Amino acid sequence: MSEMSPRWTQDPVLKVENLTMRFGGLTAIDSLSFNVGRGDITALIGPNGAGKTTVFNCVTGFYKPTEGRISLRRGRGVSDAMVDELTTSGNQFSRDGERSVFLLERMSDFKITEVAGVARTFQNIRLFGGMTVLENLLVAQHNRLMAASGYTIFGLLGLPGYRRAAEAAKEKAIFWLSHANLLDRADDPAADLSYGAQRRLEIARAMCTDPVLLCLDEPAAGLNPRESADLNTLIKYIRDEHGVSVLLIEHDMGVVMEISDHVIVLDYGRKISDGTTDAVRSDPKVIAAYLGVDDTEVDEVENDLDHDVAPTPAAPANAEGVRP
Ligand SMILES: Nc1ncnc2c1ncn2[C@@H]1O[C@H](COP(=O)(O)OP(=O)(O)OP(=O)(O)O)[C@@H](O)[C@H]1O
């Protein structure tokens, strides 16, 4: 990727503009703007309470933003003019041949998943624990199956379209089970899986909805190093072989620095850094935020870094990734 024209400026799949989210008197997100490049793994990082989950909740329709525009752009080369036209039209989405734009702040969470193609996982795993691993993946495709049935009993019983859709749903479930390394656990209750396996199952379930953008909320939380390595392999596979763009919140800096193409850093609801992993990990503002020092002390931190860390600028700002 050329340093001069990163994908996130050239061809964003998601553009968040001037996003503000207030809860009563608390401004959790303050006029935040950032892009997610098509086909990139983008990490949203920042200390606890920085606003990462709130951003996710706005993008996926769990919260209605107080202000701001969130455009999802399917197909290469969607112009800002097309997004502006949609904004003034008052509609939720528009299509121009292969290209379409969705204004997510105008859509329900259900439509954001089903129509715009944004899938997510949660900080606290939300699987159907009593259902088998396979059933969890079939349930994820329920809406598509019902549409294929024409929402009628005759459709369910006899329409060839429904039979084909049911077959395709099974194939897709098995495909993602095998790529999540869970095929041998297909018939076990989801609750019996290890924590790491449950995280991979959540991702497999999200992939069964054929997203263009996959949002992962702390996918590496609580994983051991082996599980974390398996997770990295799965996320990179999704980007490399399926061209799906990934937006993730993650505290584990090992994971962030290994798999991300682009990192956005939040602190107190504002963006303090935005760039490649190399640019962000040597940014004094990021180091200061993670160390919990005052803005006025950034120069001091920078000076310290010049003395202490300059010989190895590639060292992560905080290898453990968790604010002290
Ligand atoms: N529904 C809500 N009502 C009131 N305040 C909220 C709500 N959701 C989030 N907040 C507040 O917004 C701020 C940002 O919270 P958020 O959970 O987005 O941060 P975060 O960066 O995801 O933190 P963490 O890393 O701890 O998960 C916090 O001060 C939080 O208390």
Is the shortest distance between the CB of 153 and ligand 1 below 6 Å?
A: no
**What range defines the domain where residue 201 resides?**
128-209
Assign residue 62 a region (left: φ > 0; alpha: ψ between -120 and 50; beta: otherwise): alpha
Whether residue 223 sits in one domain with residue 95: yes
Asked, for residue 263, whether it belongs to a domain, the answer is yes
Last residue of a domain, one of 155, 185, 209: 209
pLDDT tens digits in sequence order for the chain, 324 residues long = 445 689 999 999 999 999 999 999 999 999 999 999 999 999 999 999 999 999 999 999 999 999 999 999 999 888 999 999 999 999 999 998 889 999 999 999 989 998 999 999 877 667 777 788 888 888 777 766 666 555 565 555 666 666 777 778 888 889 999 998 898 988 888 899 988 899 999 999 999 999 999 999 999 988 899 999 989 999 999 999 999 999 999 988 889 999 999 999 999 999 999 999 999 988 988 888 876 666 555 565 555 555 544 333 333 334 333 333
Residues 12 and 40 placed together within one structural domain of the fold: yes
Q: Which of 187, 209, 231 is the last residue of a domain?
A: 209
Same domain, 110 and 140: no
Query: Distance, CA 267 to ligand 1 centroid (Å)?
Result: 12
Q: What angle do CA 115, 116, 121 make, to 5 degrees?
A: 105
Mind spelling out the 3-state secondary structure of the chain? CCCCCCHHHHCEEEEEEEEEEEECCEEEEEEEEEEEECCCEEEEECCCCCCHHHHHHHHCCCCCCCEEEEEEEECCCCCHHHHHHHHHHCCCEEEECCEEEEEHHHCCHHHHHHHHCEEECCCCCCCCCCCEHHHHHHHCCHHHHHHHHCCCHHHHHHCHHHHHHHHHHHHHHHHHHHHCCCHHHCCCEHHHCCHHHHHHHHHHHHHCCCCCEEEEECCCCCCCHHHHHHHHHHHHHHHHHHCCEEEEECCCHHHHHHHCCEEEEEECCEEEEEECHHHHHCCHHHHHHHHCCCHHHHHHHHHHHHHHCCCCCCCCCCCCCCCC
Of 21, 30, 52, best ligand 1 pocket probe by most atoms within 8 Å of the beta carbon: 52
The verdict on 29 and 165 lying in the same domain is no
How far is 289 from 263, CA to CA, in rounded Å? 15
Predicted confidence at residue 153, as pLDDT, reads 59
Q: Is the pTM of this model over 0.80?
A: yes
Q: Which atom of ligand 1 is nearest to the CA of 269?
A: 14
Question: Has residue 228 been placed in a domain?
Answer: yes
- 222 and 184 fall within a common domain: no
- Is the distance from the beta carbon of residue 46 to the nearest atom of ligand 1 less than 6 Å? yes
How many Å from the N-terminal Cα to the C-terminal Cα in the chain?
34
| Ligand 1 in reach of 51 Cβ (< 6 A) | yes
Q: Whose CA is nearest to atom 7 of ligand 1?
A: 23
Tell me whether residue 24 is in a domain: yes
- The rounded Å distance from CA 134 to ligand 1 centre is 33
- The residue whose C-alpha atom lies closest to atom 25 belonging to ligand 1 is 48
CATH number at 96 reads 3.40.50.300
CA 274 to chain centre: 16
* Centre of ligand 1 from the C-alpha of residue 47, in Å: 11
Q: Report whether residue 4 contacts ligand 1, using a CB cutoff of 6 Å.
A: no
Residue 167 domain flag: yes
- Interface confidence, given as ipTM, is 0.96
Residue nearest to ligand 1 atom 17, measured at CA: 53
CB-based contacts of 189: which residues, under 8 Å, 6+ apart?
129, 130, 131, 132, 133
Q: Is 254's C-beta closer than 6 angstroms to any atom of ligand 1?
A: no
Q: Cα–Cα distance between 204 and 238 in angstroms, integer?
A: 10
Q: Does the Cβ of 75 fall within 6 Å of ligand 1?
A: no
* 47 in the same domain as 101: yes
Q: Which atom belonging to ligand 1 lies closest to the Cα atom of 57?
A: 18
Residues 30 and 146 in one domain: no
Please check whether residues 98 and 241 belong to one and the same domain: yes
